Structure 1
């Protein structure tokens, strides 16, 4: 049974920052905030008040394998002095990342074999994945694409034209998913061009965007973005990525409201992560907070065995036990589907919980 202990979800300010790092996002647009992200382990440790002599060596080791990037709005929700803060844990490099573990590989979803032409990945019959960019607003340490060869998927104007030609010749595809990286890390001028090109494909019904940006930099939901979303004939779905209720603050709620007012359907996908959200209490509270903010829980992903992230691994059996407990506490529509992506399968694979 669930022990209904409240989960601390209020925004947490980290106080004063080193003089070379801005701790305020007031009067900055999303691109300025993104450009001032913390990109050095020692800066993040200083912001969090964690002793360098204890944490910096391991953080630098992990950083060498996968560079750190954390935007200021996300840092401001962390609890200073707490190395186990669930938001910090998602972004702080550790020495564990340099340890090879059997079964943890660089391409756990075998996406390389699913790439047909540069930038276009076909894993499902009716949906196509469009790799708009390799850039992210935040480098999550558990990312299943932390080793992805983004340089092989940089798109020229000719590549974009080829993608539209391929989609037009594939009438079975009714939905395009903008992915990356994070597609909303791209400027709105280019995203509006993509939207216009995709609208020219007559059999497309939906445009889905998978993004962490409305969460980690809520200012990303700006007038320019809302303008091209409002103009599109396609049904718009944005799948955000929230793992812990403390990730949602008032600014995030406002961003979600603006998107819903623009006719966007909002869904959330989470990854079950050891030391972050591997409890039914935390995930149940997350579902409640999401729904209060206008977002429907969608997927709870079992952990993908990506090299460098084994310390986040939660077994499928433990994940299923957690979801069973959530079913006791929540209405069914607030319980995300527990799934695993199995390479070569035509859809996400549900993990039985009962």
Structure 2
């Protein structure tokens, strides 16, 4: 953080506030950024603001969290609901796309708003939150379907809820005998690590079911000393952690950055799980790589980076058709009943089996 800037005391929620904090260049873009903010929510926590380098136009943290006029450009293929949640939402707050698991979205606000978010049309200040009756209906839906083994709390960011509210939700899920796993998807440990208190950690643990936390982190710069301490509070309490990252042009679309990020996650005791192809959310084309580029990066990672650091490269098929791996193929039929297998350095080898 440049020495002439002071860490903000509170979350910055407008381009004007970002400019006053010295996070935006004085380049005449403020009116366009205000137009972006009228359409898509803006929030930058003090922890994130401290990481932004406003002197670097390619700063990977700024690119993820600060609004950009490019967000006003919408491509024909971009969608308001790019992964198709709506057709699979039988009751408010529930998305039931896969037989054995559901999404439960108790809140639609976040501590920060990523500029590439696939739910950017649905989240933000004033977005709907489940009230008591809504939550009852959602939990009744889960309780009535014994095939549901895993409940994924998402939103919004569920860790923005109070420990009391989280403890209530976890306890009620714990009381449903066929629910074995509760998984929480969150950015909080890296963007607002002070929120991960002992009280919050205790709220996540049920008596019977197992709790997992899926951390969203895209760049090693996010894994500050404070973030690692927040992660440690969760892991030391017996809560295993995975991570999901989004492949983002200008943020992490090179082998060195991905390798350093995944190694940093593993060192913090977080297993990289997914690397997402960017979704077709409106106004996010400037972030998306091609699938071929993503496959080439995964192929390069396979050669020289530990298997502990290898996520699965995935695509959420638009329209609600589910998540599929985009893993590059290393084996192909040789036409004679066997296979030709390509090693991580491009060597090709016959295989019979």
TM-score normalized by the length of structure 1: 0.88
Pick which of 323-332 and 60-69 moved more. 60-69
- Residue 193 of structure 1 is aligned with which of 168, 172, 195? 168
Match 1:265 to one of 240, 243, 246: 240
Kept after mapping to 1: 8 A contact 2:298/2:327: no
Q: CA deviation at 1:342?
A: 1.4
Q: Is 1:104 the equivalent of 2:92?
A: no
Q: In 2, distance between residues paired with 1:301 and 1:54?
A: 34
**CA distance in 2: counterparts of 1:118 and 1:219, whole angstroms:** 31
CA distance in 2, matches of 1:159, 1:49: 39
1:16-165 alignment to 2 at 5 Å?
A: 16-17=4-5, 23=7, 36-48=10-22, 50-148=24-122, 154-165=129-140
Deviations 1:107-161 (A, max 9, x none): 1111111111011110111111000101100010100000127878532212222
Unmatched tracts of structure 1, length 5 or more? 1-12, 26-35
- Which residue number corresponds to residue 170 of structure 1? 145
- Following superposition, the deviation at residue 16 of structure 1 comes to 3.8
Q: How does 1:275-290 map to 2 (within 5 A)?
A: 275-290=250-265
Contact 1:23 1:72 (8 Å CA) reproduced: yes
Instruction: Return the alpha-carbon distance in structure 2 between the equivalents of residues 139 and 174 of structure 1.
Output: 30
Conserved? CA contact 1:119–1:153, under 8 Å: no
Report the counterpart of residue 178 of structure 2 in structure 1.
Answer: 203
Q: Which residue of 2 aligns with 1:338?
A: 313
**Contact 2:182–2:212 (Cα < 8 Å) also in 1:** yes
Separation in structure 2 between the aligned mates of residue 81 and residue 152 of structure 1, nearest angstrom: 34
Report if aligned partners of 2:266, 2:308 keep a CA contact under 8 Å in 1: no
Q: Quick one: distance in 1 between partners of 2:172 and 2:59?
A: 43
With structure 2 as the length reference, what TM-score do the two structures score?
0.88
Tell me which of the two structures has the higher relative contact order, counting C-alpha pairs closer than 8 angstroms and 6 or more residues apart: 1
The alignment partner of 1:298 has SS state of: strand
Aligned-pair CA distance for 1:102: 1.4
The number of residues matched between the two structures is 328
More deviation, 215-224/160-169 = 160-169
Residues 1:152 and 1:139: Cα distance change in structure 2 (over 3 Å): closer
1:14 aligns to 2:5 (yes or no): no
Query: Residues 93, 346 of structure 1: CA spacing in aligned structure 2 closer, same or farther, 3 A cutoff?
Result: closer
SS in 1 for 2:245: strand
State the partner residue of 2:334. Answer: none
Distance 1:346 1:103, change over 3 A: closer
Comparing both structures, which one devotes a greater share of its residues to helix? 1
